[in-house]
Amino acid sequence: MSYQEILYAIDNGVATITLNRPDKLNAITPLLFDEMRAALHAADADDAVRVIVITGAGKGFCAGADLGRLDGLLADGGASTSKASVGYDPVVRPDFQERYTFLPALKKPVIAAINGATVGAGLVLALFCDLRIASDTAMLTTGFARRGLIAEMGSAWRLNQLVGHGRAMDLLLRSPRVSGKEAVAMGLVEFSVPPEQFAEFVRNYTLEMSTQLSPRSLRVMKKEMWNVPFQTLAESLREARLDLNESMVSEDFREGVVHFKEKRAPRFTGK
């Protein structure tokens, strides 16, 4: 499939989706969002893909909603605010079917490679990825209060999880600009890397995940982790016991044992 506002490439089991409006710091248009979502679902369905990366072209990760679109919303009083672009899926938790919250419902790990400015909806996009790797010099901010908006699209819920109530309140109410280094210190991102090492770090991190680890294990553990906020400890334990029983009879478990005994690289199939 050809795309106009994103780039899509697969290398060694890693699908990279690059938001490609560098002159606008990859601000989100309806077309960019639809293409990104289509590419994410395509990567999730592709057996050749084991890990998905979202990043931005040029100096920005994503500067949020395109200002032209904001002008349109101002003109119509917000009536054209977009919603999830696919139908309801009865198998997926309703929490994970909205505009950005669909990312946890994807079966494969999704990593935000935050190379630069990350603002508003761009930050929300990164928040609902499974992991975040930032350049030290990246700039992250909510920005909502500076536009007369509110904590959009589940950002309050997710920020509270990642950085705690007080930090989340500050990030939302004051809208400070946070560097990649500051973001890792508060738990907003998992890794912060000098810009000259950023691309290599992302590549090595995702390559290890795609070649050395069981896709089945990654899939099941991702599901378990995103279910935790909705569970008691007893419910989490019960889910883990059921998942463990199934994993013990999987092809990937057998391969995990055999390749360890034979002292060779794994050949996991994800089954």
**DSSP secondary structure letters along 192-219:** EE-HHHHHHHHHHHHHHHHHHS-HHHHH
267 assigned to some structural domain: no
Q: Nearest-CA neighbor of 30 among 97, 106, 84?
A: 84
Residue 43 lies in a domain: yes
pLDDT tens for 146-188 read 888 888 899 999 999 999 999 999 999 999 999 999 999 999 9
Cβ atoms 229, 161 nearer than 8 A:
yes
Are 12 and 66 members of one domain?
Answer: yes
Phi/psi of residue 100, nearest 5 degrees? -115, -20
- Together in a domain, 241 and 192: no
The C-alpha atoms of residue 259 and residue 223 are separated, in whole angstroms, by 26
DSSP secondary structure of 113-141:
EE-SEEETHHHHHHHTSSEEEEETT-EEE
Once rounded to an integer, what is the mean pLDDT over residues 98-108? 93
Q: Are residues 111 and 139 in the same domain?
A: yes
Indicate which CATH number applies to the domain containing 139.
3.90.226.10
| Cα 251 to Cα 249: distance, rounded to the nearest angstrom | 7
Angle value at C-alpha 209, between 118 and 196, nearest 5 degrees: 45
Question: Residue 270: CB partners within 8 Å, gap ≥ 6?
Answer: 47, 50, 214, 215, 216, 219, 252
**Residue 271 forms part of a structural domain:** no
- Give the pLDDT confidence score for residue 90 in this predicted structure: 76
pLDDT higher than threshold 70 for residue 73: no
Does residue 247 sit in the same domain as residue 199? no
Q: Report the distance separating Cα 28 and Cα 66, nearest Å.
A: 5
User: Do residue 220 and residue 203 come from a single domain?
Assistant: no
Distances (CA, A) of 148 to 71, 99, 181, 231, 233: 13, 20, 28, 34, 39
Would the pTM of this model clear 0.85, i.e. be above it?
yes
Q: How far is CA 21 from CA 6, 62, 63, 133, 202, in A?
A: 8, 9, 10, 21, 21
Question: Tell me, what's the pLDDT at 169?
Answer: 95
**Same-domain pairing of 193 and 235:** no
pLDDT at residue 69 in the model: 63
Domain assignment present for residue 270? The answer is: no
Q: Which domain holds residue 84?
A: 6-210
Q: How many domains does the chain have?
A: 2
The angle, 0 to 180 degrees and rounded to 10, between the axes of the packed helices 251-262 and 215-227 is 120
Let me know whether 126 and 224 are in one domain: no
